[in-house]
């Protein structure tokens, strides 16, 4: 895929889909800024990339804090002179999955802050830089939960529907500016979020697989391939799209 020498930020890159995406960009010769709220995890991924012959640096950031996102973007541009791609992957789920009437204010506030407001912060600041340099590419991580109902999961569902809407609105605004904005919507994927859910409700494993036509969970590497493809020069006429990777679940 055509991402060689591109400067790429991946948020939430310390594990799961973010880590797989960072490594996949590096495999295709992009320079990756590995960002995560947990600096130690980000460093581990960056070290793996660099030890394997790729190029990566670490910039820790909590995307829910505007000043930390500013520092992430500014540090990247100061070091490399530009920002070609940002992958807004950082995300969390609620501590407790429950019906809307019993949903905690803490779970609402924390999930919206990271998954929705954090994506807005990253898009806002990345777009300012991309307008200055005359090009750019944004890939947002939404979810199948941003396309269809998700029981007992209000804040997560609301945040991912918002990511889909923000992706489409911004893509329309910047379509003539040589800036493309797309989203991927993974279904049930092997990740920390899914592991957390199954640790609380192990009985859900077979139930979830039963609604996936392929009868398995997605792999982080499979999502990463779609992200890198959307960020590459192979997809110059694609913008404002949501690519669903769910093994057929939405069917």
User: Catalytic residue positions?
Assistant: 156
Hey, what are 85's tokens?
Answer: 């791609």
What lies within 8 Å, CB to CB, of 1 at 6+ separation is 28, 228, 229, 232, 234
As a whole number of angstroms, the distance between CA 24 and CA 139 comes to 14
CA–chain centroid gap for 47, Å, is 21
36-62: b or e for each residue (b if 16 or more CB lie within 10 Å)?
bbeeebbbbbbebbeeeebbbbbbbbb
- What phi and psi, each to the nearest 5 degrees, are found at residue 56? -150, 145
In 3D space, the residue among 32, 175, 154 whose CA is nearest the CA of residue 93 turns out to be 154
């Amino acid at each position: 895929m055509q991402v060689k020498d591109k400067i790429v930020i991946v948020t939430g890159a310390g594990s799961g889909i973010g880590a797989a995406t960072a490594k996949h960009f590096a495999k295709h010769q992009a320079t990756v800024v590995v960002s995560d709220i947990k600096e130690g995890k980000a460093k581990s991924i960056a070290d793996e990339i660099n030890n394997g012959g790729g190029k990566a640096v670490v910039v820790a950031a909590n995307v829910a804090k505007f000043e930390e996102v500013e520092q992430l973007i500014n540090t990247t541009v100061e070091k490399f002179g530009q920002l070609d791609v940002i992958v807004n992957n950082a995300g969390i789920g609620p501590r407790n999955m429950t019906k809307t009437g019993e949903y905690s204010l803490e779970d609402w506030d924390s999930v919206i802050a990271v998954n929705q407001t954090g994506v807005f912060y990253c898009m806002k600041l990345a777009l300012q830089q991309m307008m200055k340099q005359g090009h750019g590419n944004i890939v947002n991580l939404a979810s199948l939960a941003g396309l269809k109902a998700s029981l007992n999961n209000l804040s997560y569902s609301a945040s991912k529907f918002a990511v889909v809407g923000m992706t489409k609105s911004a893509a329309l605004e910047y379509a003539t500016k040589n800036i493309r904005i797309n989203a991927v919507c993974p279904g049930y994927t092997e990740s920390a979020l899914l592991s957390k859910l199954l640790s609380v409700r192990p009985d859900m494993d077979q139930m979830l697989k039963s609604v996936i036509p392929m009868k398995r969970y997605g792999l982080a590497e499979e999502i990463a391939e779609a992200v890198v493809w959307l960020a590459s020069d192979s997809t110059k006429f694609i913008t404002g799209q949501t690519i669903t990777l769910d093994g057929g679940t939405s069917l």
